[in-house]
Every structure is written in C-alpha cells, then in structure tokens.
Chain A
Amino acid sequence: QKEVEQNSGPLSVPEGAIASLNCTYSDRGSQSFFWYRQYSGKSPELIMFIYSNGDKEDGRFTAQLNKASQYVSLLIRDSQPSDSATYLCAVNSGGGADGLTFGKGTHLIIQP
C-alpha cells in the first residue's frame, strides 16, 4: 500500500525565517511529487511540483527530492504570516492514472 508520511505539526516559525517541511513516501516507483497548500476551509492549491532528484526553486519556495532516500521537502524562505496553512505532500506512481496519494499534511504557523 502506498503511504506518504508527514509530521502533522504544528510547526511554528518566526516571520522572515525559513520554514522546512518534510515528507517521506513508501512506493519506490513514485515519479511525480507535489506540494499543495490548503487554507482552513478551502481546497488544496498547487505550490510546487518536482520530478527529478535535486532542487527546484520558484520564488520563495524550493522543493527538494531525494529518490534514493524516498524523501521530499519544501523550503519556504522569508516566511510570511500569509504562509500559515496546512501543506500537503502528494505523490504519484510512475504514469499511474489512479491519482495522487496524499500525506495528512503539516500545519505551519508563521509567528509575526
């Protein structure tokens, strides 16, 4: 059974600092990795996706993937109060049509 594990938090980070969110997955065949942000009462919205080992940067966000360790992370630089949300890690097995497998999410709180 495919599993995606995240620390549920809450993770509290001071404003302006770097927030580091982590995720591990069980299926070695996984090939697509996604980070979604979900505000309370809202639907998930895509923040980053990564397919290859290494780092991928987009503005204040950096996704990191290590397939050998089955580990994905999301770094948020210069954290803002508006970044306070639940961050969901999602994984898709190679070419699989059966959707994304989601972790339970990490609740991030940015303290002003």
Chain B
Amino acid sequence: NAGVTQTPKFRILKIGQSMTLQCTQDMNHNYMYWYRQDPGMGLKLIYYSVGAGITDKGEVPNGYNVSRSTTEDFPLRLELAAPSQTSVYFCASSSQGNTEAFFGQGTRLTVV
C-alpha cells in the first residue's frame, strides 16, 4: 500500500525561485492537508482541501498556493521562495474531517 506519497524528498532552492511539491494518495480520501514543521515546533497547517475543486487556507498560507483537480492529488506551489520557507513539509489525508490523518514521508526544503 502506497498511502500518501510526496515528491521530492529533498530540495534546495535559491531565493526567488519557485517550485511545486507533489502529493498523491491512493486511499480515496476526500480530505487532504499540507503542514510545515520547523525544528522543535509542532506542525502548522498551510492549506487544506475537503474534496476535488475545494481548497481553503490554514494557519500559515502566505507564500503558498494549492490546487485540487482530482481526489488523489494535492500539489503545493511555492512562489518566490524565501529563507523563511525553509522547513519540512508534510502532506496528509484523512477519510473524514475528524478522523486520523495519514502522513507522507515529507519534503525537506532549504531556501538559500
């Protein structure tokens, strides 16, 4: 079972560059989430989606964009990368809004 798959695992960006973090799940979950985790901190919600075509902002959305064209995929777009976006990014999915979330393996992003 693949579960939630994220690519890439590691990436180094230069300030001002853009990139897309990919996330796909094969559990037919309607709910998908993007979190970021900074050292010694908990996970902060960036964006979430309750189904294809529906997205909404989380706690820390500035500097990011998302789309949800299919149930399976939920890419996260970084425009004009800044050092403050250096973090580990986790994609997650759940079957319902109040049930457990399953996480991908994470993307470690460094902006220099």
Residues of A within 8 A of B (CB): 4, 8, 31-32, 34, 42-46, 49, 88, 90, 92-105
Contact = CB atoms under 8 A, between A and B. Distances in A.
A98 B100 contact: no
Given A43-B90, A43-B106, A45-B103, A95 B98 contact: yes
B58 A98 contact: yes
A46 B90 CA distance: 14
Interface string B21-40: 00000000001010100001
Most buried by A among B42, B45, B58, B100: B42
Interface residues of B, number: 25
B103 A43 contact: yes
A97 B58 CA distance: 11
B101 A100 contact: yes
Given A44-B90, A45-B103, A104 B98 contact: no
Interface of B: 31, 33, 35, 40-45, 48, 50, 56, 58, 90, 92, 97-106
Given A44-B43, A88-B42, A96 B106 contact: no
A94 B98 CA distance: 7
Contacts of B97: 92, 95-99
B58 to A, nearest CB: 7
5 contacts: A42-B105, A96-B97, A99-B31, A100-B101, A102-B42
Given A42-B106, A102-B35, 14 more contacts: A31-B98, A42-B105, A43-B90, A46-B101, A96-B97, A97-B48, A98-B45, A98-B48, A98-B97, A99-B31, A99-B101, A102-B43, A104-B42, A105-B42
